[in-house]
Structure 1
């Protein structure tokens, strides 16, 4: 039976209306693909708690989870992902890549120029069209 992981992803927009995009490192699964940063929801956590913790751990900055933007499901060969993408506000610090190879800020209309991790594609496509 296929394992399903419940994960969260942060959609963080800066004052220039650019979205934070993170490049998965060669050491990560699905290497060298872009994603919205985040990670696994731990037992007993809400999606909002999980995304705030994950961003603090991964990017060494503080965010406030605002509202769910989109929920999706994706089946990889070995496992499945239930992804909750959450609109977030940066409240302190500045995102710094520690686990990822690179972080960039990109205008929404340019998001589809990147090679996205398959589980993030549906969120990215919706975000390009969205008025938030």
Structure 2
């Protein structure tokens, strides 16, 4: 089972979401950016590394959300989400088709990778509770 992290990056009352490229599995689905945990790597170190590699920004990790486990037809994963804030840098979609900032109340308007759906719902509940 794949162990994967993802970042819900907040900045200026917006959330960063990324669209998978046509050459990736789950083509053109939306996701929170992140990636696979390497052997011996902490979830937090993985997330910081993957965000730098995929979208070339630095982030601050603020809060872990609930791990989501999902089974696709050809692979299974455990997805570890973290609420983060933008540190330094300008977002560059180095691996994704696009990376955009959206309002939290727009998150459900996108065609998400199925593994990300429980995270979208938990984040919306979390964001609503702190307002």
Provide the TM-score with structure 2 as the length reference.
0.94
SS in 2 for 1:123: helix
User: What's the offset of the Cα at 1:89?
Assistant: 1.8
Q: Answer yes or no: is 1:7 the counterpart of 2:4.
A: yes
Structure 2: gaps of 5 or more residues = none
C-alpha root-mean-square deviation of aligned residues, in Å? 1.0
* Distance of 1:68 and 1:95 partners within structure 2: 22
Q: Corresponding residue for 2:88?
A: 92
Q: Corresponding residue for 1:41?
A: 37
Provide the TM-score with structure 1 as the length reference.
0.93
More strand by share: 1
Q: Answer yes or no: is 1:71 the counterpart of 2:67.
A: yes
User: What's the offset of the Cα at 1:88?
Assistant: 1.3
Q: Which runs of 4+ in 1 moved over 6 A?
A: none
User: What's the offset of the Cα at 1:80?
Assistant: 0.6
Matched residues, number? 128
Structure 1: gaps of 5 or more residues = none
What is the correspondence of 1:93-112 to structure 2 with a 5 Å cutoff? 93-112=89-108
* Distance of 2:45 and 2:106 partners within structure 1: 29
What is the correspondence of 1:53-72 to structure 2 with a 5 Å cutoff? 53-72=49-68
User: What's the offset of the Cα at 1:38?
Assistant: 0.3
